[in-house]
Structure 1
């Protein structure tokens, strides 16, 4: 029986095979305690996990049609157990049933059939990792990287690799041409030398593609572009005479977006604490290096640390706002509103300051 369920939903069962095991699950979702699970109760089981935005409208109908063998409009206990072992369910809604079953079936530890007062279920981590998918394809970071390579090679063919070619002059953020608003975004396509290009390509591919596989390319695109825009707006205000080139604002937005998705999907990740520590370590190293170079080594480096910081902040806030949250909790909803309002306020302030604070940009 457990083996059959593994085939159906690709999720392991706990060792217990007793009727008591299934009976306790059945009774948990038999809300009116009439010994039957109705269509409404079945729908509430699924929607209670807050997956209603992901499930097709006809999913519940198909589950009921497959499981309700006597066409009574209800699932009795035997039909419920048969439903949980029905291999056809996987063909009906693929990974949706895996998430549904994962939310109600214990994944680790034996069932204690002697102590009814204790909790019978231990929920496993790893739901987030199950969301990795190659469809739709993760194309955003790959396409952006290809565009950056092609534009760099175009200028390099003319002997210009230091952001001084035809393309670079058109797209770079130039403080003397701030009225050309596209430069606040297109500077991400310009790189100063091969090393600068390769570093950005490697980081954005290794960080961006995994994000796209879970959160889909359009969400990651929003995060990336938000970091790019925030980086240029902040740099123009803090260093109004500085030229800006490179995708670092977007790259740091991707780094912070990983932190955002760890925060919002902490319970669904298998190694959340390890991932969070890795990204915090990366941030600490970068900040520490910037402080050391500026205040102790007194190095004059052409590195836009303000763009890094602004991009990371935008990535964190927009990541919380747009990336997928597999299971919403009340505090996460409050955090979502706080992140969206803070990001919109900062961006509005940055845009208005760049437009109306003319004295800041006088040469």
Structure 2
């Protein structure tokens, strides 16, 4: 995830970025729902995302499989831009929706394995500090009206998707059936149903927005980065 994004940023050009970024008028080009996460505004934007991504991805990959963590990251990114497109139908670039999905999915891992995990308090505290710092930074950035604008919707929906997907994709450490495993099974179905409902709702809303909005008014006003 991280190294590939850095390599892309180092060798990409404006034409390639235009072909990969998310554009609300080109939602039929479905690759944009994933490839927008490769495009970043500058090196600061990129490095910040990659550092946070690698820290939490490595932590989770040691407990869960690489494939589960990668799938959660990608689906979190897709969910985040879906949510953003329903609130601000403009350009979106950056991987923060996927990063937030990884970050908040730690909560799901802790819930599923609360009886077996060490350092639960430290993990929760570090997550809370990072989220608080990001919220403060976003508020300052938004009220100062700096561009490019921050897509807080992508952050929020990506984090919500990470929590729900974590309940679905992550596994607990208990191999023997127990009361906890029954609770985790209920959490699995709850997370799956809520995530499917969330995605379907955003898809229907996005389609309705495009269908009811004249083509000449769907245009790029801002670049939102996340």
Question: Could you say whether these structures have the same fold, taking a TM-score greater than 0.5 normalized by the shorter chain as the test?
Answer: yes
Cα deviation per residue 1:255-295 (whole Å; 9 max; x = unaligned)? 0111110111111112212211221222223224434544x
Quickly say closer, same or farther: Cα 1:330–1:255, change in 2 above 3 A: same
Give yes or no for the alignment of 1:181 onto 2:33.
Answer: no
Give yes or no for the alignment of 1:336 onto 2:194.
Answer: no
- TM-score, normalising length: structure 1: 0.54
Give yes or no for the alignment of 1:279 onto 2:136.
Answer: no
CA contact (8 A) 2:165 2:192 kept: yes
Q: What is the distance in 2 between the residues matched to 1:339 and 1:197? A: 30
> Aligned-pair RMSD on alpha carbons?
1.8
Residues 140-179 of structure 1 mapped to structure 2, 5 A cutoff? 144-155=1-12, 160=13, 165-179=14-28
- Looking at secondary structure, tell me which structure has more helix per residue: 2
Q: What is the distance in 2 between the residues matched to 1:285 and 1:264? A: 26
- TM-score, normalising length: structure 2: 0.85
Give yes or no for the alignment of 1:347 onto 2:164.
Answer: no
For structure 1, the residue ranges without an aligned partner over 5 or more in a row are: 1-143
Note the C-alpha offset of 1:145: 2.1
Give the counterpart of 2:160 among 301, 313, 317. 313
Give yes or no for the alignment of 1:230 onto 2:79.
Answer: yes
Q: How many residues align?
A: 209
Q: What is the distance in 2 between the residues matched to 1:152 and 1:300? A: 22
Quickly say closer, same or farther: Cα 1:353–1:262, change in 2 above 3 A: same
Note the C-alpha offset of 1:222: 1.4
Give the counterpart of 1:324 among 155, 166, 171. 171
For structure 2, the residue ranges without an aligned partner over 5 or more in a row are: 175-179, 218-226
Q: In terms of Rg, which structure is larger? A: 1
Give the counterpart of 1:359 among 192, 202, 212. 212
3-state SS of 2:50 partner: helix
Q: For residue 94 of structure 2, what is the aligned residue in structure 1? A: 246
Residues 19-98 of structure 1 mapped to structure 2, 5 A cutoff? none
CA contact (8 A) 1:187 1:247 kept: yes
Note the C-alpha offset of 1:197: 1.1
Higher relative contact order (CA 8 A, sep 6+): 2
3-state SS of 1:324 partner: coil
Q: For residue 146 of structure 2, what is the aligned residue in structure 1? A: 300
Quickly say closer, same or farther: Cα 1:198–1:288, change in 2 above 3 A: closer
